[in-house]
Amino acid sequence: MSSSNQDPLNPQHSQAESTEAENQRIARRRSIMPRLIGGSLIFFVLIALIGAALFQQLRKKQVPPPPPILGQVSAPTFTDETNTSFSITQLDGRIWVADFIFTRCGTQCPVMTFNMKKLQDWLIENEQGNVKLVSLTVDPETDTPDVMRQYARSVKADEGRWHFLTGDRQTIYDYIIKEFKLGADENEGQSVADMFVHSDRFVLVDRDRNIRGYYSGQDDVALEKLRNDIVSISRDGESATGNVGIPRITFNGPITK
C-alpha cells in the first residue's frame, strides 16, 4: 500500500492532522491580533481627542463673559515701597487690582490685606503672571516708602507683583475720589486705627486702565467673583489698545464704602 493511501484511522495520522489544524488556528490568531490592537489604539485615541474637545468646550462655557467698562483712570506717578518713582503707565498692558489702605488701620484694612494676600497666592498658583496688585495708602504722611516696605514684608507680599504706593496727598485723594469714584477722607477726632475713612473695595482694572469691577475686600463671595472676572478678562483676547465689543457703562459714583 502506498504512503498516499494511509489509513485515516491510524493514530499517528490523526495526531498530525490535529497538530496542523492547531498551527493554522494559531497563525490566524497571530494575523488578527495586530489588527485588533491597532483598532483598539485608534478607538482610544479618538475617545481621548473627543474627551479633550468636550473638556475645552466645558471650560469655555464655565468662564463668564467679561464685565463691562465702568470708567477709565489716568496714570499719575507715585512712589513705591523701594522709594522708587512708580508711574501707573508701568501697569499698562497688564490687568491689575487696586485697594486703598493705611498701615495703622485697625478695622477693615487687616482683613483687606489678608484677602489681597490670598488673591496673590491664587494668582501664583494659577500662573496668572500678567496680573498685578496695587495698595495705595490714604495716609501718605505716615506711610513713607520705608513704612510701606516693612508692611509689605510683614504680609509676605510678592515683590514685583504687589506694589505698595505712597506719594503726594492731594494726588492720591484726587485719584481715589475723582477717578476710582470711591470715598476717602480723614476722620478727625478718632483714634489712630480709625483716623481715615476709606472704601473697602478692590477695583479690577484692565490692560487699558479701564475699570471693570468693584468688589468688597471683606466678602468671600465678592472675591470669588473677582477671581472669575480676572479669568474672563485674561481669556477675553482684548488688545492693549482697544476693547471692541465690550459694553461701556456710564458710572458717576462715588461709592463711599
Instruction: Give me 47's grid cell.
Output: 475617545
Q: Tell me, what's the pLDDT at 26?
A: 65
- Residues of 17-54 as b/e, b for ≥16 C-beta within 10 angstroms? eeeeeeeeeeeeeeeeeeeeeeeeeeeeeeeeeeeeee
Instruction: Concatenate the DSSP letters of all residues of the chain into one string.
Output: --GGG--TT-HHHHHHHHHHHHHHHHHHHHHHHHHHHHHHHHHHHHHHHHHHHHHHHHHHHHSPPPPPB-EE----EEE-TTS-EEEGGGGTTSEEEEEEE-TT--SHHHHHHHHHHHHHHHHHHTT-TTEEEEEEES-TTT--HHHHHHHHHHTT--TTTEEEEB--HHHHHHIIIIIS-B-EEE-TTS-GGGSEEE--EEEEE-TTSEEEEEEETT-HHHHHHHHHHHHHHHTS---SS--TT--B------B--
pLDDT score recorded for residue 40: 61
What is the structure's pLDDT at 101? 96
Contact 167, 78 (CB under 8 A): yes
Other beta carbons within 10 Å of 129: 11
Residue numbers in the chain where pLDDT is lower than 70 = 1-18, 21-24, 26-41, 43-46, 51-63, 189, 237-257
pLDDT in tens, 124-161: 999 888 999 999 999 999 999 999 999 999 999 999 99
The pLDDT value recorded for residue 254 is 41
Q: Which three cell numbers stand for residue 21?
A: 489544524
> CB under 8 Å to 208, separation ≥6 — which residues?
72, 92, 238, 240, 241, 242, 243
* Chain segment 96-125, per-residue pLDDT in tens: 999 999 999 999 999 999 999 999 999 999
